[in-house]
Amino acid sequence: MKKSFLNFLMFGALMTALVFTSCDKNDDPVPGIDPDPDRWITVAGALMGTTPGDGNGGTMVYAVSKKNAKDSTYSINVYDNGFPVKSTRTARLQSAEDGKTLFNIAYVGDNGGEFSRYKVNGGSNFVQEDVTVNIAQYASTSPRWAKLFDGDKTGIAVNVAGIAANNASDATQPFAYYRGTATVLALDLQEVLIRGYKQYQIPLTTEEEALGHCIFRLDAPVLNKAANKLIIGTWMQKRNPETGTTESSFTRLGTKSVVVDYPSLENPKVITSTVGHGDCSGYRSFNSFTADDGNIYQATQREPAGSGSRILKINQNNEYDNSYAFSLDAALGVSNVYVDCWRYAGNGKAYILYSHDDAASDYVAWLDLNAKTAVKVTGIAYDADLDFGQYQGVLVSGDEVYIAVTPVGKDGNIYILNSKTGAVTKGAKLVNKAGNHYIGIF
């Protein structure tokens, strides 16, 4: 009897293990299968302020199902049917990984710097949750911010303010540098509160500062694989040491990023690339990504004339890997590529939204970061009035990458790109209005 009972227990344990093993296996993503077919697709459009395409009139959003987003016979009119999110100018939007929550920090105006959270219910039904926090007193009414890829836990806002010479208040002292006060602030997206912030000056080398170089803007923070450092992009500036005048033409330094400890936000350190010489701040979207291989890949902007945007690599020691050279000019066979926006899509693949010299339109290209190749995507209706300069949101869902393509003042479409095969599917029609353009999918 005892032996039969033990056999019964062993059989039960084996069946339980098989059940849990089976469940675990079924929970793994299956190649070619949509991991989240019920996810909302939120489309964002920017309204014209005073000039067509300036995006300064506010932001409208509208949510549709994936099925409708993929249907080329379906029409979306965010301007007539959408919901206005808070922002005097273009809102700075991010979405939860499941698409059910939209995060926003209002940009300038009376509510500039105010973080708000919206429940996405489809169509124009966005319900603002009864939680807000304003970070303006720390990071200004126009903060740059990005959501970390940490399960929707944290947003990082950054700012540089009050750039001045060390001898601004006492001209009898010798000039040594121009510096501003940098702010790095961690925002708890779930509890909706400021988790912490640090403010400090971030020096360059003595020689660089003596020439008038300084950090003008911080942007596009990303968390490293070890989750113990933030890498923050920079936009560099040079001022005349004698007059303080900002110089528009100067010999650029190597591309620089600021590394700070996480989550303490302390100990800022500047790292410098010898491969790139442009800025790595991006503009209104992510600009650095931690890839599957554990390294960080970063696009550059404003490279010296004749040398367009590059993709740089930061290794797991949080230093630039100067053996990795990926020139987009060389890969695409054109001159002065400028990356307006880009998105890592997994498995070493990425997409860039870009322009270049003599281009008849802005374009989209498919990248292989390991092979260092880039191919212009065909199957998209390019147009002379297509401008990705203010583009914010590229959505990655499994193998699918969603982008909104609308020339200023003209109708366009959602396009769904397969990051593994390169296939292009024309999705829902995006109905436009004069002076407006769609700026992202979230």
Q: How many residues does the chain have?
A: 442
Structural domain includes residue 14: no
Would 183 be classed as within a structural domain?
yes
Place of tokens 């808070």: 86
Strands (E), 189-322: 193-200, 213-223, 229-238, 256-261, 269-272, 288-290, 296-299, 310-314
pLDDT of residue 31: 59
User: Based on C-alpha coordinates, what's the Rg of the chain?
Assistant: 24
pLDDT at residue 338 is higher than 90: yes
Whether the CB-CB separation of 101 and 82 falls below 8 Å is answered with no
Q: How far apart are the first and last CA of the chain?
A: 62
Q: Report the percentage of the chain scoring pLDDT > 90.
A: 87
Q: d(Cα 420, Cα 349) in Å, to the nearest integer? A: 7
> In the prediction, which pLDDT does 29 show?
53
Q: Starting from the edge strand earliest in sequence, which strands make up the sheet with 92-95, in order? A: 92-95, 101-105, 114-120, 126-134
Could you give the CA distance from residue 105 to residue 134 in angstroms, rounded to a whole number?
9
Per residue in 103-119, pLDDT (tens digit) is: 999 888 888 999 999 99
> What is the C-alpha separation between 265 and 196, in angstroms, rounded?
8
How many structural domains compose the chain?
A: 1
| pLDDT value, residue 87 | 86
Read off the pLDDT band of 8 (50, 70, 90). very low
Average pLDDT over residues 225-245: 97
Distance CA 163, CA 413 (A): 43
Q: Does any domain span residue 56? A: no
Question: Beta 193-200 vs 178-188: how paired, if at all?
Answer: antiparallel
Assign residue 180 the CATH number of its domain. Answer: 2.120.10
* Closest C-alpha among 107, 183, 175, 40 to residue 392: 107
Q: Is the pLDDT assigned to residue 79 strictly greater than 70?
A: yes
Both tokens assigned to 427: 């999705």
pLDDT at residue number 37: 85
Least Cα distance to 143 among 107, 104, 93 occurs for 107
Per the structure, the complete domain to which residue 356 belongs is given by 90-400+417-441
Q: How far apart are CA 40 and CA 5, in angstroms?
A: 51
DSSP 189: T
Token readout for 66 is 């994936």
DSSP 3-state of 10 = helix
Tell me what the pLDDT averaged over the chain comes to. Answer: 93
| CA distances to 97, 219, 290, 360 from 223, in Å | 16, 13, 7, 37
Q: What is the pLDDT of residue 101?
A: 98
Percentage above 70 pLDDT, the chain: 93
- Asked whether residue 371 is domain-assigned, the answer is yes
* Phi, psi dihedral angles at 261 (to 5 degrees): -65, 145
Confidence of residue 30 (pLDDT cuts 50, 70, 90): low
15 belongs to a structural domain: no
Model confidence at 32, in pLDDT bands (50, 70, 90)? low
Q: What is the pLDDT of residue 21?
A: 39
C-alpha distances (whole Å) from 21 to each of 16, 30, 34 are 8, 16, 22
If you average pLDDT over residues 218-243, what whole number do you get?
A: 97
Write the single-letter amino acid at 404.
A
Asked if residue 14 has pLDDT above 70, the reply is no
Asked whether residue 408 is domain-assigned, the answer is no
**Confidence class for position 36, pLDDT limits 50, 70, 90:** confident
**pLDDT band with cut points at 50, 70 and 90 for residue 33:** confident
Mean pLDDT of 143-170: 96
pLDDT at 7 over 80: no
Between 311 and 143, whose confidence is greater? 311
In a domain, 291, yes or no: yes
Query: What sign for the dihedral angle of Cα 166, 171, 173, 176?
Result: positive
Give the mean pLDDT of 221-238.
98
Task: Decide if pLDDT at 250 tops 90.
Answer: yes
In a domain, residue 46? The reply is no
pLDDT per position as a tens digit, 125-134: 999 999 999 9
- Strand spans (E) along 109-255: 114-120, 126-134, 144-147, 154-165, 178-188, 193-200, 213-223, 229-238
Find the range with the poorest average confidence among 6-15, 60-69, 226-235, 305-314. 6-15
CA distances from 408 to 45, 384, 387, 441 (A): 11, 9, 7, 17
pTM score of the predicted model: 0.91
Residues 92, 30 contacting (CB under 8 angstroms): no
In the prediction, which pLDDT does 22 show?
39
CA quadruple 273, 277, 278, 279: dihedral sign:
positive
Under DSSP, the state recorded for 323 is T
**Of 6-20, 99-113, 306-320, which gets the smallest average pLDDT?**
6-20
- Please, are residues 355 and 385 in contact by the beta-carbon 8 Å criterion? no
pLDDT exceeds 50 at position 20: no
d(CA 295, CA 289): 8
Residue 324 has a pLDDT of 98
Which stretch of 84-98, 154-168, 392-406 has the lowest confidence by average pLDDT?
84-98
Beta bridge partners of 60: 45, 84
